[in-house]
Amino acid sequence: MTTQQFTTLCGRTLRNTDSQYFPSAQYHGRVIYLCTEACLGAFLADPKKFHKAHRKSKEKPPKPAAQK
């Protein structure tokens, strides 16, 4: 049994699993993976926007919700 680690385009690192269980697509000549079908749908709808949005969110983590 082989285990591998890979990172989805949306920034999730998946370990001890097989990429065949995750949706994949071609992007800039490379095969990229998404964590869910919903993610894949969003990516296919607008790959550029999706990639940009997730790169941004990686650099700048979302603010915690304001508490009263």
Sole window of 16-24, 35-43, 45-53, 58-66 interacting with Zn ion (rule: CB under 5 A): 35-43
Integer Cα distance of 41 and 25 in angstroms = 10
Sole window of 19-27, 30-38, 41-49, 57-65 interacting with Zn ion (rule: CB under 5 A): 30-38
Q: How far is the CB of 40 from Zn ion (least distance, A)?
A: 8
Under the criterion CB under 5 A, does residue 35 sit at the interface with Zn ion?
Answer: yes
User: Strand 24-27 to strand 13-17: parallel, antiparallel, or no bridges (unpaired)?
Assistant: unpaired
Integer Cα distance of 43 and 27 in angstroms = 10
Note the residues at the interface with Zn ion (CB under 5 A): 10, 35, 39
